[in-house]
């Protein structure tokens, strides 16, 4: 699978995209980049918007850019200050996260456990 990473509006002109991408990640604060990323996707592709600030996304045609089960997703971003605040609050309320570790050779078992909701909390692979 191919992935396109767009960090600025100039990326659109420097690297013309063909409709072959399975997924694209945008980092630029420009909505034009989001539309260009959608235009680069094959049917069933996903665009992840990874920008803390984003201007408006221009109007675009449903038939040409979302048809074929293409998806737009936003990725949660936070600043270092947000992370410090979160960790302070977690400490104050005695947050106790739950995680189950699997060795790398147990990756299939870990995936099955996640798929079947057999884990309370997160699952992680340990090399």
Q: What is the pLDDT along the chain (127 residues), one digit of tens a residue?
A: 455 555 665 665 555 555 467 888 887 888 888 888 888 888 888 888 877 778 888 888 888 788 888 888 887 777 778 878 888 998 999 988 888 999 999 999 999 998 888 988 888 999 8
Note down the domain range covering 103. 86-119
Say what the pLDDT of residue 109 is: 94
Task: Name, in order, each residue with C-beta under 8 angstroms of 40's C-beta and a sequence gap of 6 or more.
Answer: 4, 17, 18, 19, 20, 21, 24
Q: Compute the distance between CA of residue 98 and CA of residue 21 in angstroms, rounded to an integer.
A: 36
Q: Compute the distance between CA of residue 48 and CA of residue 45 in angstroms, rounded to an integer.
A: 10
Same domain, 9 and 60: yes
Same domain, 67 and 8: yes
Pull the structure tokens for residue 12.
């659109």
Task: Tell me if 31 is assigned to some domain.
Answer: yes
Same domain, 63 and 104: no
Same domain, 91 and 63: no
Number of domains in the chain: 2
Task: Tell me if 124 is assigned to some domain.
Answer: no
Say what the pLDDT of residue 77 is: 72
Task: Tell me if 15 is assigned to some domain.
Answer: yes
| Sheet strand arrangement including 3-6 | 3-6, 21-26, 41-49, 71-74
Say what the pLDDT of residue 11 is: 61
Distance between terminal CA atoms of the chain? Answer: 25
Count Cβ atoms below 10 Å from residue 36 Cβ, excluding itself. 24
Task: Tell me if 127 is assigned to some domain.
Answer: no
Say what the pLDDT of residue 54 is: 82
């Amino acid at each position: 699978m191919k992935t396109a990473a767009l960090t600025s509006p100039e990326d659109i002109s420097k690297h013309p995209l063909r409709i072959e991408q399975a997924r694209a990640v945008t980092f630029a604060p420009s909505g034009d980049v989001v539309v260009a990323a959608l235009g680069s996707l094959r049917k069933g592709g996903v665009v992840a918007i990874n920008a803390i600030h984003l201007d408006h996304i221009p109007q675009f045609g449903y038939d040409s850019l979302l048809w074929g089960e293409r998806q737009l997703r936003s990725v949660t971003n936070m600043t270092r200050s947000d992370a410090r605040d979160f960790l302070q609050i977690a400490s104050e309320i005695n947050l106790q996260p739950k995680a189950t570790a699997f060795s790398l050779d147990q990756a299939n078992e870990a995936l099955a456990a996640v798929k079947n909701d057999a884990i309370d909390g997160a699952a992680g692979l340990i090399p």
